């Protein structure tokens, strides 16, 4: 029996239901937060946490975790859920990014850093070489710090995926984002459901010591059956970690929210994911891809 059918027998096939609710988070404040923010500005360093107004900023910074976006602020793709600027960066790359990442680790006393980027289809290697330089620099300067990379698909070209993996990040993450049926409505046409699965499968099959991770947004019109199938596909690609978060519409020009999930529905998704065999799951309205990275590190340390 296929794994999807087994899970359906246990949890049922009906769609998840729930009423819209206000989504609230604590405003980051305090001397520690203000001190870190001011120090970052003095060094001209910027975290995705601040730029994206992440609701989990305060919690992650307290846990000595932060996310840095590299390769500029202009994406060559135009996903319909994302508010990042779209355009042609014309090959521009900041050669100082590896040092900036190392400086951020020192300044914030991080024990876990997530490096992410826009898509850079204008570059011959799609940005894989820059990621590798950053990972190597942080690993060299801060050997006790774990580096997670949330990466583009590099067009699933093995030579570039190898460049990234051989820099030896602790976690390689690539987001599936949504279920198969909605992929072309939600993501740029150059992305793809199978494309992401193939990339994640490549990393796990060729670099089994590296943890792999993916994320799904909910509230875009997907069904529970489709979410379960996506989970099964990710697990069969060897993915270890999965996160679920509520899609929130950034502007009126973006996709509408079709449903707001209740807290018990997020817990239900977590139970299904663990039943399927994921090693670590984070699920909740405000969960974003790099959220609970410190909790995952604690999980790894306990199980070593």
Euclidean distance between CA atoms 195 and 287, whole angstroms: 24
Q: What is the pLDDT of residue 62?
A: 64
Give the pLDDT band of residue 17 (cuts 50, 70, 90): very low
pTM of the model: 0.86
**CA–centroid distance for 131 within its chain:** 15
Euclidean distance between CA atoms 52 and 85, whole angstroms: 12
User: Within 10 A of 267 (CB to CB), how many other CB atoms are there?
Assistant: 12
Q: What is the pLDDT of residue 54?
A: 55
Q: What is the pLDDT of residue 8?
A: 45
Euclidean distance between CA atoms 203 and 114, whole angstroms: 18
Which among 164, 157, 166 is positioned nearest to 124, based on CA atoms? Answer: 157
Q: What is the pLDDT of residue 288?
A: 76
Task: Give how far Cα 90 sits from Cα of 85, 115, 123, 228, 292, Å.
Answer: 14, 22, 8, 40, 35
Give the pLDDT band of residue 255 (cuts 50, 70, 90): confident
The per-residue pLDDT for range 197-240, each reduced to its tens digit, is 999 999 999 999 999 999 999 999 999 999 999 999 999 999 99
Please determine, for residue 190, whether its predicted confidence score (pLDDT) is greater than 70: yes
The per-residue pLDDT for range 77-108, each reduced to its tens digit, is 988 878 778 899 999 999 999 999 999 899 88
Max Cα–Cα distance, the chain, nearest Å? 59
What is the average pLDDT value for the chain, to the nearest integer? 84
Local structure of residue 71 (DSSP, 8 states): S
Q: State the pairing for strand pair 146-150/171-173.
A: parallel
Instruction: Collect all residues with Cβ–Cβ distance below 8 Å to 294 and sequence separation of at least 6.
Output: 60, 63, 64, 65, 111, 112
Instruction: Give the relative orientation of helices 158-165 and 193-206 as an angle to the nearest 10 degrees.
Output: 50
Please determine, for residue 18, whether its predicted confidence score (pLDDT) is greater than 50: no
Q: Are 37 and 51 in contact (CB under 8 A)?
A: no
Q: Are 47 and 100 in contact (CB under 8 A)?
A: no
Euclidean distance between CA atoms 227 and 270, whole angstroms: 11
Please determine, for residue 72, whether its predicted confidence score (pLDDT) is greater than 80: yes
Q: What is the pLDDT of residue 38?
A: 64
199-214 as b/e, with b when 16 or more CB fall inside 10 Å? bbbbbbeebeebbbbb
Domain 3-303: CATH superfamily, name plus number: Aldolase class I (3.20.20.70)
What tokens were used for 295? Answer: 């909790």
Q: What average pLDDT does this structure show over 8-27?
A: 49
**Whole-number percent of the chain with pLDDT over 90:** 59
Please determine, for residue 13, whether its predicted confidence score (pLDDT) is greater than 50: no
**Range of 10-19, 68-77, 96-105 with top mean pLDDT:** 96-105
The per-residue pLDDT for range 29-56, each reduced to its tens digit, is 555 556 566 656 566 655 554 544 555 5
What tokens were used for 59? Answer: 């919690």
Please determine, for residue 272, whether its predicted confidence score (pLDDT) is greater than 60: yes
């Amino acid at each position: 029996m296929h794994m999807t059918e087994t899970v359906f027998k246990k949890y049922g096939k009906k769609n998840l239901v729930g009423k819209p609710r206000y989504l609230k988070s604590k405003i980051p404040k305090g001397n520690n937060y203000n001190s870190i923010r001011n120090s970052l500005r003095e060094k001209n360093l910027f975290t995705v946490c601040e730029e994206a107004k992440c609701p989990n900023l305060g919690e992650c910074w307290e846990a000595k975790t932060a996310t840095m976006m590299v390769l500029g602020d202009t994406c060559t793709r135009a996903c319909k859920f994302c508010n990042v600027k779209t355009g042609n960066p014309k090959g521009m790359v900041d050669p100082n990014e590896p040092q900036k990442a190392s400086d951020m680790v020192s300044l914030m006393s991080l024990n876990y850093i997530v490096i992410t980027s826009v898509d850079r289809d204008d570059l011959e290697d799609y940005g894989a070489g820059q990621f590798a330089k950053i990972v190597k620099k942080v690993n060299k300067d801060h050997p006790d710090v774990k580096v997670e990379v949330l990466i583009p698909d590099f067009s699933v070209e093995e030579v570039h995926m190898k460049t990234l993996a051989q820099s030896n990040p602790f976690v390689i993450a690539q987001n599936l984002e949504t279920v198969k049926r909605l992929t072309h409505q939600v993501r740029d046409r150059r992305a793809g459901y199978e494309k992401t699965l193939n990339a994640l499968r490549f990393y796990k099959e060729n670099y089994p010591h590296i943890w792999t991770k993916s994320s799904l947004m909910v509230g875009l019109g997907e069904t529970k059956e489709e979410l379960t199938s996506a989970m099964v596909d990710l697990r069969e690609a060897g993915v270890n970690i999965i996160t679920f978060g509520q899609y929130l519409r950034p502007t009126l020009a973006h996709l509408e929210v079709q449903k707001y999930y209740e807290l018990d529905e997020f817990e239900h998704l977590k139970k299904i994911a663990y039943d399927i065999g994921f090693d670590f799951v984070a699920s909740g309205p405000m969960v974003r891809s790099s959220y609970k990275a410190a909790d995952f590190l604690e999980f790894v340390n306990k199980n070593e």
